[in-house]
Structure 1
């Protein structure tokens, strides 16, 4: 059954050996200016961007759309200049002193009922809206329920920016429609270095199948665009 939810696209930059950060989990800044422009372009096409609290803690900021042409396109479509930035945190534990909270972007929180109480105490009015989507045990987010709410709130397309635990959770319930993958020319290695999809993983029979839509090589990077099979 097709649910009424936003169209989703995950956008990631990875190393040749499939890592999204080093073994110290430092912010991944190995993408080129071309990759950054590509990410900015993709973000300009959506109504909201979704990322985990750990990803926010690592980077401390979100990527702003600054390209005048992209801003003009959004303005022409009567969209806010910046998409809604949605932080995902089941616990609600988010450092209120991050630079993210001083950036001029609309901010929402996706959490659980216990997480909303924690966030309210620590972040005060940092988030314009809090979406509560509890699973049965109240500790995990019910993403199917959450995405129904996002659609009801007017978000038709959402970009997923990481991290690996978030992508694993969304893949598990088939909530990723497309994937943009930039392969960057370096190797990090390490069994503890994070990968794009964390969690318990999938068996071969449960593996998520992809259809390659486009492939483009620019300088030393390869840009891959996939559609996930339903």
Structure 2
């Protein structure tokens, strides 16, 4: 897979990758693992993970699956090596509380694991469980200063970051204009439910200031529609 050059920026290029039902749900009302997409979508997701230097997801996403998606396809591994990347990108979980279950399979996967948390959340974790812990000062968490945080990832060598949810984390990064492109797969089912999670949660955006997107490509594979959007910069950044 051809990878565009990394923009000259102090922040990583962030790509959101999600699958959702036709009615815009990323899981059902029980908020468990969403396994309704196809093998084609899983391959698409793995390709996006393989393109990244780091993968970021929220604690709720990890809690639902207990695991993360590593790069397994030989051709994708070969491409990473040709680009000078390690076999596996960093797999970073955002958990302000740090309340995660060390028995999850995630902690036995052969991937470099990172934790993004508070000083309190970093307590009791060791280097075998998390090879790196980004402990964010309290002043940077009220609200979370995502440009500053992402700059720490960029300084650690992560030029490309894949964002895999959940909706609360996505809303946080959209609030700070830190997402550059979106791959979203629309799957042929209806989940419904007022409490079922959506791609963007949180307080929401008023129409006047909602992030605007530009459709870059669309493709239909079986019953699924693969959409690729660019996130337009806000008007204050020149549009």
Interval containing the TM-score (normalised by the shorter chain): over 0.9
1:143 maps to 146
Report 1:9-88 matches (<5 A).
Answer: 9-88=15-94
Alignment of 1:51-200 (within 5 A): 51-117=57-123, 121=124, 123-125=125-127, 126-136=129-139, 138=141, 141-200=144-203
Q: What TM-score, normalized by structure 1, do the two folds share?
A: 0.94
| TM-score between both structures, scaled by the size of structure 2 | 0.91
For 1:10 and 1:112, locate their aligned partners in 2 and report how far apart those are by CA, in whole Å. Answer: 24
Structure 1 residue aligned with 2:5 = none
Contact 1:212 1:226 in 2 (8 A): yes
Q: In structure 2, what is the equivalent of residue 227 of structure 1? A: 230
CA shift for structure 1 position 136: 2.4
Q: 1:202 aligns with which of 191, 205, 211?
A: 205
8 Å CA contact retained: 1:90, 1:141: no
Q: Which runs of 4 or more aligned residues in structure 1 lie more than 3 Å from their structure 2 counterparts after TM superposition?
A: 137-141
* Gap runs ≥5 in structure 2: 1-7, 234-239
Q: CA RMSD in A?
A: 1.4
1:186-224 Cα distance to aligned partner (Å, 9 max, x none): 000010111010100010111010000000001100000
Q: CA deviation at 1:140?
A: 5.4
Measure the CA separation in 2 of the matches of 1:136 and 1:38.
Answer: 38
In the alignment, structure 1 segments of 5+ residues that lack a partner are none
Displacement after TM superposition at 1:135 (Å): 4.8
Are the aligned partners of 1:133 and 1:142 in contact in 2 as well (CA < 8 Å)?
A: no
- Structure 1: distance between partners of 2:103 and 2:47: 28
